[in-house]
Amino acid sequence: MEKSLRSIFLVILIAISAQATVTNSLERNQIWRVNAATDDQLQDLKDLQNTKTVEMWRYPQKVNEPILIHVPSEHIKFSENYLSDANITYKVTVENLDDVINQQKFRSKRAITNLDEFDYTVYHRLEEIQEWMNLMTDRFPFVSQQQIGLSYEGRPLNMLKIQKPSSGAPKPIIWIDALIHSGEWVTSASLMFIWKEILTKPQYSWIIDSLDWYIMPVLNVDGYVYSWTFNRFWRKTRSITGTSFCQGVDGNRNWDSHWSEASSPNTCSSTYHAAFAGSESEIRHLMRFITEQKEGIKAFITLHSYSQLILYPYCYARNTYTPDHDEQHQLAVNMSKAMYEVHQTVYTPAQGAKGLNYLWSGCTIDWIYDKANITLTYTIELRDKGTYGFMLPPEQIVPTGEELLAGIEVLATHVLNKH
């Protein structure tokens, strides 16, 4: 097919599918790994994304950078023909998405009444994560639970505070959150694993003796529930955006730092920034909490997947660095080295926009640095680099957590030496 004819066909297809979204029924849907070898093929992939017949997990940015795409069953034949006409190579990495998702959701249905029974090798629903938090506060007298607000749909936004009594000066605080993007399940799973390790193994006692911690296993609670019940790859919140068919806002584009400069105004986009900064209940409550506690918080980590990156500000511009860039970068390098030593998994340290190779304004770490004045602020993108993407197999939860723990140890040491 000539490129001009394909372009005309795409215009027609875009018009037909403009109001469509990728189906929530995942039976016989597939995941493909595609690669553009030329600039023309890169443009072809961008055109394909605009048809909304497939869902690309990473926006096509440069040649020879493989990306994963979610191909609904009804669009498989079209996608095959389109990629063939464009001479774009692809590989089917998941033949039947529904089967794989059901396997990842499978686990014992019995109630968990003891922390020792909790299974860290599977993914857990929101109510099970909440039960884990309850059991943590029951087991450890220095662990408490705090609600910082309510989500859009009225669910509590709960965090754990790990604070051993101290007679001296207030200890430095480190914050870690997960699941601002609700389809990134490994973030919460690995966060729970590392805290099981820290709280139960003597070699990590210094981490809680010398520092206080705030951890939030699920920030986007509404979206996380939706990812279990309707759409495994749901990313955004679940707020009403003013349209009848598209809901939600990208929480990592909703912070009041260069808001809307490099994010989408389209309500149906997965990176929609909302009508105004801090519009989302989840983000608004967290901004308020951090503002109130910012004098004590010395480091801030927000967990994402996937890409295996350790990112620091800024996200909104490629060649704009903070005055603390040298320290931020060197600590990221040191964390990366420690994480590599565990399973030889490479986590690349980088400035936010350069690491992901695109601009993303209104992001968490830019606000944390600029508005909360917390120097050591990082987005850690966990496993993997695109083999499974958001569908990371449960057997990789513990290895991912072990790598994360190694990085957190380096961060904790740096904070103690500095403060």
**Active-site residues: which are they?**
381
| Residue 289: alpha-carbon gap to chain centroid | 20
For 358, list phi and psi in degrees, rounded to 5. Answer: -155, 165
Q: How far apart are CA 182 and CA 236, in angstroms?
A: 7
Closest among 98, 130, 134, 131 to 25, alpha carbons compared: 98
| DSSP sequence for 90-130 | EEEEES-HHHHHHHHH----SPP-SGGG--TTS---HHHHH
Beta bridge partners of 350: 311
> b/e per residue, 106-144, with b = 16+ CB within 10 A?
eeeeeebeebeebebebbbebebbbbbbebbeeebeebe
Q: Cβ distance 398 to 321 under 8 Å?
A: no
Q: Cβ distance 250 to 283 under 8 Å?
A: no
Q: How far apart are CA 130 and CA 217, in angstroms?
A: 9
Q: Cβ distance 235 to 181 under 8 Å?
A: yes
Give the dihedral sign, CA 245/250/254/257: negative
For 75, list phi and psi in degrees, rounded to 5. Answer: -115, 10
- Cα angle 402-403-404, degrees, rounded to a multiple of 5: 90
Supply the DSSP symbol for 43.
H
Closest among 360, 359, 396, 356 to 380, alpha carbons compared: 356
Q: How far apart are CA 20 and CA 14, in angstroms?
A: 9
